[in-house]
Amino acid sequence: MTDQGAHVPVLLDRVVELLAPALSEDEGRVVVDATLGLGGHAEALLRRNSTAHLVGLDRDREALARATERLAPFGDRFTGVHAVYDRIADVLAGLGIRRVHGVLFDLGVSSLQLDEAGRGFAYSQDAPLDMRMDQSTGITAAEVLNTYAAADLTRILRRYGEERFASRIAAAVVRERRRAPFDTSARLVELIRDTIPAPARRTGGNPAKRTFQALRIEVNGELDTLERALPAAIDALAVGGRIVVLSYHSLEDRIVKQLFAARTTSSAPHGLPVELPEHRPELRLLTRSEPPTSDEIAANPRAQSARLRAVERIREAA
């Protein structure tokens, strides 16, 4: 069991600081924690902003239950919803909410999922190869390993794990699954270690890290979900509202960077003497690719790879 009291949310003070100006003391301010997890960020936001209402989404039923218990003291100022974060528009419509004033995305795998050995996310513990954030639906990592063609395995390892030895690992998986299907993480970790050349194993941490990342992203459709969710969150944002995104690897961060860049840039044709209102940017950058401080990393090693980006809506869409 993960100890909620020991859980340290990543960049907590900075997240609260960035969202606070949009969550003034006015009644009716709504903030969405699109990746609720254990509720650490949500609790801090509700404490800091005494009249705000927080809508928390999570696809992980266990995480949602624990966060709901944690946030019970806030009464009807918190609404928890079992949903993947790309359904933000549907969730808000179902709650009768037209505009929100803050949105937080804390991407990637949660502490609960990493620390629960049976979930199969951590390559350091032998566990069933599940990796689903919502264990009630979808394909498992074991099914990916045991059914995907070598070319498809190579593609996801190369694209989602940025793995140099993707084709070599994929070929080894296909060869070994003929002997026996993959079902637990330890066998996969051993296969990767034996497949990657010795010089490449000496740097960059555990050689299984990239493969586990790729499988997790594939199982949960994380990048496609993010590409749908961010525009939906922007569309739901009131003027003056803010979005904060914490990402943990370059693939996520690139999607966030590119979308924010597109929406913070004028769409006026080059050479137009006067910028028309409809060409003005919808958003302005508050910060770009902000890393954690050394003190933050010392207190919370899982924050090391985090990158924070934030924007504010400055006009309605044309």
Q: What is the pLDDT of residue 204?
A: 66
Note the pLDDT of residue 135: 85
- pLDDT, residue 56, reads 98
Distance CA 16, CA 252 (A): 21
Distance CA 276, CA 253 (A): 31
Q: How far apart are alpha carbons 254 and 259 in whole angstroms?
A: 9
The first and second tokens of residue 217, run together, are 């992203």
Q: What is the reported pLDDT for 118?
A: 59
41 is in an annotated binding site: yes
Per-residue pLDDT of the chain (318 residues; tens, 9 = 90+): 333 445 689 999 999 999 999 998 677 899 999 999 999 999 999 999 999 999 999 999 999 999 999 999 999 999 999 999 999 999 999 999 999 999 999 997 766 566 566 566 677 778 899 999 888 889 999 999 999 999 999 999 999 999 999 999 999 999 999 999 999 999 999 999 999 998 877 766 788 889 999 999 999 999 999 999 999 999 999 999 999 999 999 999 999 999 999 999 876 666 666 666 666 899 999 998 999 999 999 988 888 999 999 999 998 876
Q: Does residue 90 have a known ligand-binding role?
A: no
CATH second-level architecture of 12-106+222-313?
3-Layer(aba) Sandwich (3.40)
Q: What is the pLDDT of residue 277?
A: 65
Q: List the CATH code of the domain at 115-220.
A: 1.10.150.170
Residues carrying CATH 3.40.50.150, the chain: 12-106+222-313
Is residue 85 annotated as involved in ligand binding? yes
Q: Is 39 annotated as a binding residue?
A: yes
What per-residue confidence (pLDDT) applies to 272? 65
- To the question of whether residue 213 is assigned a binding role by annotation, the answer is no
CA separation for the pair 295, 193 (Å, rounded): 33
Helices 166-179 and 150-161: crossing angle in degrees, nearest 10, is 140
Bridge partners (DSSP) of residue 3 are none
Helical spans, DSSP H, in 162-302? 166-179, 185-195, 198-201, 209-220, 222-236, 250-263, 294-299
Determine the Cα–Cα distance for residues 184 and 117; give it in Å rounded to an integer: 11
Q: Where in the chain do CATH 1.10.150.170 domains reside?
A: 115-220
pLDDT at position 123:
73
Answer yes or no: is 106 a known binding residue.
yes
User: Residue 214: its pLDDT value, please?
Assistant: 95
